[in-house]
Structure 1
Amino acid sequence: MEPTTQGGGWLYLTPGQLDFWEEYLAHPGQPVSTVAHLTRIEGGADPAALVRALQRVAAETDVLSLRFAPGPGGRPAQRVDPAARPVLRQIDLRGDPDPEGRARALMARDLARPLDLGGGGAGAMWLVRTGPRAWLWYCRGHHIFLDGYAMALIERRAAQLYAHLACGAPEGQPFARFADYLAEEAGYAASDRNAAARDFWRGRLASAPLPPRIRKGSEDYPAHPRSATADLSHLAGRLRDAALRHDLGWPDLLIALAALWLRRNGTGPGTDGERILWLPLMGRMGSVSARVPAMVLNIVPWHLPEARQAPLAETLAGLAADLKAIRRHGRCRIERIAADAGLAANERFFFSPLLNVMPFDPAVFPGCDTRREVLAAGPGDGFNVTVTADSRGGAMMLHLEADPALTDAACFSRHAAGLPRFLGAALEASGGTLVADLLAVPA
């Protein structure tokens, strides 16, 4: 991948973006990978400062103004077009008998609309006033240029700008440019670090069965996936305590415990346990992308050993060490890993089950209560486990989603009931407890 500037400011896509472009072409007229967040803002907000802050963050966020088009030889290209910058849409529903319901209906209608990546308009921002002290901020884009961390960057920058405009707080630094991220990615792709990471993944995949693969464009994403949500906030204190006991960060402890559950419990017919999980990796540490909203997220396979007869502490230490090695080489793109493993250009791995922990602090607008809600995050291949929380594990929620064609209702219910129960038991267990005994917790 060489993100080379072309005439008129055109830039080549990253490998991750190319996959989303191919998906976009393969599913015409479908809103397949729309991304959208809703931020509820309640309290004594300064309306003018709020409007100005959102307008400024829209202007700073290059990717919200991207246009896409076929480039030389049919290779797609992208450019930042100021004319495509989203204009903040202000909607006042204070006179509506059900302002919240009306606002959500408008957002649902927008989410059902396929996005036009070529014509611009894939990025959108609305500010909906639902009461004298209540607003709903709606931010929408496409996964080809936004991931979950990018959305968090936008939200935190908007709050920082609001604090500056309304309270005189420091203005802070604007986002770095999207082109800076592309240039850095080109440098990494040609680096010795990437070569070493490719060797790491070649060795991994050569010593274990390859994950299942599918033909690109063959996806049949369900219109109504099975879904369940569980509030895990009552586990936050126990999670932090257990993380200290096991000398782990709480996100890694949670990932390891959920992995043990999935290793024991299959997610579909014919699977008595999952041997390969998929891990999303942010890949932003030490990178300019820490200050650039963009689609940086990578996804990598995790081959899990059978550890049911081992003590919990020993098992967790082994899983944590493996996670560390994976992250050390996790910037190597899955598209390159797949090609090195022999997948054809029209093939990709089937990313299921996927396990994602998102420890993002919410944006803080001074003088206001704010709550974030993910309205759309793109489809998953099969079975998805997502945990959202703040950086201390507070406000922790478990989200499960599954394709009903691959996971029947009884299996899904076992996970929805059993995984929270298993997490609670594992956080209370001593390090000498056998994993097999913990996994005997009835679902």
Structure 2
Amino acid sequence: MSAPAAGVRRPLSPAQAGVWYAQRLDPANPVFHMGGYLDILGPADPDLLRATVAALVAEDETTRLRFTEADGVPQQYFAAEADFTPHLYDVSGDPDPAAAAMRAMRADLESPPDLEHGPLFTHLLFRLGDEHFIWYHRVHHLVHDGYSASIQRRRAAEIYTALATGGDPGTPYGSYAVLLDEQAAYAGSAAQRRDRAYWSRLMEGAEPPVGPAGSATPATPADAATHGPSPDGTVPQGPPAGIVRDVSEVDRSLRDALVGFAERARVTWQQALLAVAVLHRALWAGGSDVLLGLPVPGRVTPGSHRTPGMAANTVPLRCGIDPRESCEDLAARVAAQSLRAQWHQRYADTDLLRDLGWPVRGRSRFGPVVNIVPLDERTTFAGLPAVSHLLSTGGTADDLTLSVTYGDGGGLRFDVTLDAAQAGSVDLAAYRKSFVQLLSSVVTGPPGRTVAELDVLDAEERVLVVERWNDTAAPPEHRSVPAVFAAQVTRTPDATALIDGDRHLTYQDLDTRANQLAHHLTATGTRRGDIIGVLLE
């Protein structure tokens, strides 16, 4: 296949457009850098590593992408062939080679992007010792999505193995230009109309989701510029540019129990985990009509599944909860629903929101996002094991996001993330703890147990709720409500205290307003013991 012509301008995809506008609002912000690294354990050949990276860059048409504007409309085009030479940095003589490599990777992740001149990617190779190498890759979210990272890992392993053994290097990357052609052909097609009809039927009667704190998520500056940037199908985790997160791991035994439950329910363990997320949302937020955001690759043809680029989308996962249903039956229903979503995954979420007449709030779409990152435990470089580590999936997280990857100990790693502007609206540690407890209850319980029979409290919480909170012999606290509130203001002055529509008041704001009202009432002659009327709509 011939390389795409340089200089020919093309429109951005729906997934790219939101990232473009959000980045333009804050040009130096590195939050849209995606990055991670592979730990290659064993006597790798450094020359073959460099040759592998060079071959990847040569195959990947997105390395040539550049972006510009014409009359205020963003466009993309292919520049000349990328002139990139991978370098190997030997940090083996450093007192702490791993820390030295990490400092270099973090510094690169935090560098400001240059959308118009590029390049929008880099690769760094580090030698930590004779039998320990690191391959680091960073790319802007305009160029790649999270799905691209899994394609790249597999392709790199194929190329290195072929170079080392003289074997078949396998099928090269697909063409990003062809992927753009497919996206253009989809617009206005019969396939798009079918997808629209499916999502309209599925979402009939659904209510716009509330934000992570239980009310509407406030609008962001990007809304005015773009009517809300399109999502990217990945889980935000990266540089400290407005994201807070809680990270934890569960051990291999719980993951094995999850696999066993999935076999009983005749679903994959990823689908079983998605069912737990649906159930957890119902218990956390209340209600029986659950709505979650489901990241999808946005690719449907065989060639596009081998093509790195930015094509991902986020679609709604809507599922009702019946307390009388067995956990296995719930998992089967969620699995079927998620598969149907895959069949209609190209319909842009911004188009669906417009069809529904729902407000677009920053990067929030259909409620909390559950992203089970594509994983491959068997990545090897000519037999040498390579362990993947995610540093940043690039983006913001207006709504709550749960990302699942493999943990270092063979279990599962859970990342619960939230935009820093929403920090304080959700106790992320409590959210994660309750999720893991529910997961354990679902997968370790007896077969056929119903949703209503699940134990959602761990031992510590059960003591708190059943015993301590019901201990009528406990001495009362002799503190007034104003005193308790004043103590809370001192502890968390910047945490959200009240939400009214799109308005948020911190504890400090509320305290200031209450004092202002008190002074006003005193000035008008109000005295202790007077009755004050309060008008509520």
TM-score (norm 2): 0.74
**1:283 maps onto 2:298 in alignment:** yes
Residue 352 of structure 1: how far off its partner (Å):
3.9
For each residue in 1:380-412, what CA deviation from the matched residue of structure 2 results, as whole angstroms up to 9, or x when unmatched?
22311111149xx96532222234553549832
Provide the residue aligned with 1:201 in structure 2: 199
- Flag structure 1 segments of 5+ consecutive residues without an equivalent: none
Provide the residue aligned with 1:189 in structure 2: 187
Residue 179 of structure 1: how far off its partner (Å):
0.3
For each residue in 1:179-216, what CA deviation from the matched residue of structure 2 results, as whole angstroms up to 9, or x when unmatched?
01111122222321210111222233341112357355
| 2:305 match: secondary structure | helix
Which stretch of structure 1 is more off in the superposition, 114-123 or 336-345? 336-345
1:262 maps to a residue whose letter is: R
Q: Which has the higher contact order (CA 8 A, sep 6+)?
A: 1
Provide the residue aligned with 2:319 in structure 1: 304
Q: Is the 8 A contact 1:86 1:123 kept in 2?
A: no
Tell me how far apart the structure 2 counterparts of residues 410 and 29 of structure 1 sit (CA, whole Å): 29
1:376 maps to a residue whose letter is: S
Provide the residue aligned with 2:222 in structure 1: 217
Provide the residue aligned with 2:267 in structure 1: 248
**1:385 maps onto 2:390 in alignment:** no
Of residues 69, 72, 94 in structure 2, which corresponds to 1:74? 72
Provide the residue aligned with 1:426 in structure 2: 442
Provide the residue aligned with 1:62 in structure 2: 61
Q: Is the 8 A contact 2:196 2:352 kept in 1?
A: yes
RMSD, aligned CA: 2.8
Of residues 233, 242, 257 in structure 2, which corresponds to 1:238? 257
**1:172 maps onto 2:189 in alignment:** no
Q: Is the 8 A contact 1:338 1:348 kept in 2?
A: no
For each residue in 1:6-27, what CA deviation from the matched residue of structure 2 results, as whole angstroms up to 9, or x when unmatched?
9822222111111111111122
Residue 434 of structure 1: how far off its partner (Å):
2.0
Which stretch of structure 1 is more off in the superposition, 256-265 or 204-213? 204-213
Provide the residue aligned with 1:156 in structure 2: 154
Tell me how far apart the structure 1 counterparts of residues 196 and 423 of structure 2 sit (CA, whole Å): 33
For each residue in 1:229-268, what CA deviation from the matched residue of structure 2 results, as whole angstroms up to 9, or x when unmatched?
21343233222222121111221111111221122114xx
Which stretch of structure 1 is more off in the superposition, 348-357 or 44-53? 348-357
**Do the aligned partners of residues 260 and 171 (structure 1) sit closer, same or farther apart at CA in structure 2, a change above 3 Å counting?**
same
Which stretch of structure 1 is more off in the superposition, 412-421 or 245-254? 412-421
Tell me how far apart the structure 1 counterparts of residues 184 and 104 of structure 2 sit (CA, whole Å): 40
Tell me how far apart the structure 2 counterparts of residues 93 and 282 of structure 1 sit (CA, whole Å): 36
Q: Is the 8 A contact 1:35 1:376 kept in 2?
A: yes
Of residues 345, 356, 371 in structure 2, which corresponds to 1:330? 345
**1:375 maps onto 2:375 in alignment:** no
Tell me how far apart the structure 2 counterparts of residues 44 and 93 of structure 1 sit (CA, whole Å): 16
Provide the residue aligned with 2:16 in structure 1: 17
**Do the aligned partners of residues 7 and 163 (structure 1) sit closer, same or farther apart at CA in structure 2, a change above 3 Å counting?**
closer
Tell me how far apart the structure 2 counterparts of residues 311 and 345 of structure 1 sit (CA, whole Å): 36
| 1:100 match: secondary structure | helix
User: Rg larger in 1 or in 2?
Assistant: 2
**Do the aligned partners of residues 242 and 343 (structure 1) sit closer, same or farther apart at CA in structure 2, a change above 3 Å counting?**
closer
Provide the residue aligned with 1:93 in structure 2: 91
- Flag structure 2 segments of 5+ consecutive residues without an equivalent: 210-215, 229-239, 462-537
Residue 90 of structure 1: how far off its partner (Å):
2.3
**Do the aligned partners of residues 232 and 80 (structure 1) sit closer, same or farther apart at CA in structure 2, a change above 3 Å counting?**
farther
Which stretch of structure 1 is more off in the superposition, 288-297 or 75-84? 75-84
**Do the aligned partners of residues 321 and 177 (structure 1) sit closer, same or farther apart at CA in structure 2, a change above 3 Å counting?**
closer
For each residue in 1:103-148, what CA deviation from the matched residue of structure 2 results, as whole angstroms up to 9, or x when unmatched?
1111111111121111112110111111122111110001112122
1:129 maps to a residue whose letter is: R
Q: Is the 8 A contact 1:59 1:85 kept in 2?
A: no
